[in-house]
Structure 1
Amino acid sequence: MHKTLIVTNDFPPRPGGIQAFVHNMAVRQPAGSVVVYASTWKDGREVAEFDAAQPFRVIRDRTRMMVPTPRVTRRAAEILRAEGCTSVWFGAAAPLGLMAPALRRAGAERLLGMTHGHEAAWAQLPVSAQLLRRIGAGTDVLTYLGEYTRSRIARAVGPDAARRMTQLPPGVDESTFRPDSGGDAVRARLGLSERPVVVCVSRLVPRKGQDTLIRALPRVLAAQPDAVLLIVGGGPYRAELEKLVDTVGVRSSVVFTGAVPWAELPAHYGAGDVFAMPCRTRRGGLDVEGLGIVYLEASATGLPVVAGDSGGAPDAVREGETGYVVPGTGGEQLLAERLVRLLGDEGLRREMGEAGRKWVHAAWRWDMLAERLTGLLRER
């Protein structure tokens, strides 16, 4: 049987988007076809129980942050040979893809590197761009999330590696994210049953644009006085957002849930009438949205979406069909106009929500994307 070694620093139960991406792809590969070599993240029962529940072997390195040191590279080569793997899949191409030449010498016939948003940032800095070029030369294929990340990474890796790039974004489980996900119960519990709800599901960090939503809220309330902004998630920016709510004077119209268990996220999407996350690019393009899977999860739930224009976020929206894209910086007025229009037009919300769910089914299903990855790992 063809067998793949997954080398990744990003793997559950460590939380995060790349972790979920790699894991969802891994569990959908043919039985017995993968083995995972991952960082430890932290000691304890949580990691051990998670690993034991997986349908494949998980080998943990002692380090909590896996980088391509000589020791890690040697260990990866040992596992490759011991497990009889003929291909290698780097959960994040940068920096682990730097191990590619050594693993090819150890017997790997096919090497694939997944790229995410951070590689697009690497491409803008001279030293890290040179490392990306080495990674592109050492691997057989690099994947990309969407056109934004492809264009940035392609310039760094050079024409030969760019020709071997192929799109492989994360997917959406439409059986989990669906219109009847339990949103009514969440609304009732939070006392929002009779109110128009704009929901934002994301980590609370400046790039995601929750502050822009708060600043736009007075304009929304002028047209929809009962509207409420439901901010779902935790993160280091919460204290600043709480202060901003009081400064703007919209305390009665904003609800913070804090961090929510993953199993409860679909219901929290479903608690909204509209999904909005006006993300923005920061730090001269180094802090940028790679794709924005939350928009697609909201679409699968049947919501129209309003996205910011940071990086690859527009790749997750069909403008005017599944939602709208607004400027992530200085876009409060247009954001408010889009929200007012959607909150005031139930037919438009339903039309966009249905279009979004159809698009997810046609182009963003996990099973379809995992099958694409299986093919990429077996090409010669």
Structure 2
Amino acid sequence: MTVLVVTNDFPPRQGGIETFVRSLCDQLPDVVVYTSREAGDTAYDATLPFPVIRDRTSMLLPTARVTKRAVGLMREHGADRILFGAAAPLGLMGPALRRAGARRIVAMTHGHETWWAGVPGAWRALRRIGDAADTVTTVSSWCADRIAPALSPAAAQRMRRLTPGVDTRRFAPGCGGGQIRKGLGLEGVPVVACVSRLIRRKGQDTLIRAWSRVQKSVPDARLLLVGGGPDREYLEDLAVAVGVADRVVFTGPVPWAEIPPYVDAADVFAMPCRTRRLGLEPEALGIVTLEASATGKPVVVGDSGGAADTVIHGTTGYLVDPYNPAAVAVRIVELLTNPQHSADLGAAGRKWVEADWTWAQSGAVLRDLID
């Protein structure tokens, strides 16, 4: 059984979907990846134990040329199973790949397919994708509820949940946070970290707006924003305007392989993610929240899309209103001023991730769907 993975979401490009697709490749017995061009891809691909074929473009689209190339790769590598790393739009190639000999087609969905499900023209395309696939997978119950109405009844019945896992060996208490604190000058102070791209959906601006309230109760607390993104300048200006610039630390981009110690450096992980653009831009899941739980951190997460699936409210952390900085501040202060409560939540979070969010479980689900 050889699986051809067709995707735009693959390292060295960074992101949750990229990590998800890459990690699933390790769970498959024989895999070939067809993906788009990315800076630094030659060096990265040389480290992998399976072949990666890069297209000449920086984004695969379901054109006749790309479809012909995918068919050629199926025949060259003897692949009769197809995994679309993201169903829309590449899943539109499904019928052609089926005619070329694909025995099983699995199309993964994430957050962006939820807006496809609500837009008339895209809705029809998503239905075609679902009909061409043996299974459409979803990362959260919220995503499943939004996508299912756009599919035909038969395709909706074939939907399955396929979630990312967490490597609890990499994300573990004591995995290097002390060194990060030392390097950033954060030794001996309470730290709240948000590890994510700096974009509006992730809610770093809500944390900055909440910080003056946090400071009233915990004067020496620091906010650590880990990651790069288009909102860096906006967030820096906001911190100055709010009067907390000396309490906010920006790390800039951090390679995915080096992320665990930054999570471990925190006392609390917070990402008040929110749904934007009239519901078309939600948080599909938020694997970084589960990685923080695996590292033994209590979490504060915004109530957006499928993010609720990543926290057991009151047990591993808290779900908060991402549009209410005061409410976010209350939960952060509660955790920073009650270390035993925070430790209990963090311990419960790690236990939960070890039991229910492993890559072995995700791999078993995918192998069952693809076989």
**SS of 2:278 mapped into structure 1:** helix
Q: Secondary structure at the match of 1:93?
A: coil
- Structure 2 distance, partners of 1:59, 1:188, is 41
* Counterparts of residues 92-241 of structure 1 (less than 5 Å): 92-241=86-235
Matched letter for residue 35 of structure 2? A
Code of the aligned partner of 1:9: N
Q: Does 1:343 align with 2:357?
A: no
Residue aligned with 1:297, SS = helix
Q: Is the 8 A contact 1:29 1:371 kept in 2?
A: no
Structure-1 separation of matches of 2:199 and 2:8: 22
In the alignment, does 2:29 pair up with 1:26? no
Tell me the amino acid that sits aligned with residue 170 of structure 1: P
CA RMSD of aligned residues (A): 1.1
Pairwise CA distance, 1:16:
2.0
How far apart, in 2, do the equivalents of 1:186 and 1:36 lie? Answer: 35
1:75 equivalent in structure 2? 69
Deviations 1:167-195 (A, max 9, x none): 11111111001111111111122221111
Q: Report the Cα offset of residue 263 of structure 1.
A: 2.6
Residue 369 of structure 1 corresponds to: 362
Cα distance between partner residues in 1 of 2:10 and 2:233: 29
Instruction: Show structure 2 runs of 5+ residues with no match.
Output: none
Structure 1 runs of 4+ aligned residues shifted over 6 Å read none
Q: Which residue of 2 aligns with 1:41?
A: 38
Question: One-letter code of the match for 1:85?
Answer: A
Q: Distance in 2 between matches of 1:58 and 1:142?
A: 24
Contact kept? 2:322, 2:328, Cα under 8 Å: no
Deviations 1:195-231 (A, max 9, x none): 1111111111111111110111111111111111111
Answer whether contact 2:14 2:256 (CA < 8 A) is retained: no
Following the alignment from structure 2 to structure 1, what is the Cα–Cα distance between the partners of residues 49 and 147? 33
Partner residue in 2 for 1:288: 282
Match of 1:317 in 2: 311
Deviations 1:234-255 (Å, cap 9, x if unpaired)?
1111111111111111122111
| 8 Å Cα contact 1:7-1:37 kept in structure 2 | yes
- In the TM superposition, residue 9 of structure 1 has moved relative to its aligned partner by 1.6
Among 273, 276, 284, the alignment partner of 1:279 is 273
Q: Deviations over 1:58-86 (max 9, x none)?
A: 12221211010011111111211221112
Q: Secondary structure at the match of 1:29?
A: coil
Which residue number corresponds to residue 248 of structure 2? 254
Equivalent position SS for 2:48: coil
| Bigger Cα displacement from structure 2, 303-312 vs 181-190 | 181-190
Residue 257 of structure 1 deviates from its aligned partner by 1.1
User: Amino acid of the residue matched to residue 350 of structure 1?
Assistant: A
The DSSP-based 3-state class of the residue aligned with 2:361 is helix
User: Higher mean Cα deviation, 257-266 or 308-317?
Assistant: 257-266
For residue 345 of structure 2, give the secondary structure of its aligned residue in structure 1: helix
Q: Secondary structure at the match of 1:74?
A: helix
Q: What SS does the aligned partner of 2:352 have?
A: helix
Confirm or deny: 8 A CA contact 1:41 1:65 kept in the other structure.
no
Are the equivalent residues in 2 in contact too, given 1:209–1:279 (CA < 8 A)? Answer: yes
Amino acid of the structure 1 residue aligned with 2:355: A
Q: Distance in 2 between matches of 1:263 and 1:36?
A: 21
Equivalent residue for 1:59, pick from 36, 53, 58: 53
The answer as to whether partners of 1:171 and 1:366 remain within 8 angstroms in 2 is yes
Q: Gaps spanning 5+ residues in structure 1: where? A: none
CA contact (8 A) 2:13 2:38 kept: yes
Deviations 1:17-75 (A, max 9, x none): 21111111102222xx1111111234xxx322222221111122212110100111111
| Cross-structure match for 2:350 | 357
TM superposition shift of 1:322: 0.6
Q: Is the 8 A contact 1:228 1:254 kept in 2?
A: yes
Give the Cα–Cα distance (whole angstroms) in 2 for the partners of residues 232 and 11 of structure 1.
21
Residue 122 of structure 1 aligns with an amino acid whose one-letter code is: W
Mapped pair 1:267 → 2:261: yes
- Aligned-pair CA distance for 1:125: 0.8
C-alpha change, 1:52 and 1:192, in structure 2 (3 Å) is closer
Letter in 2 for 1:78: G
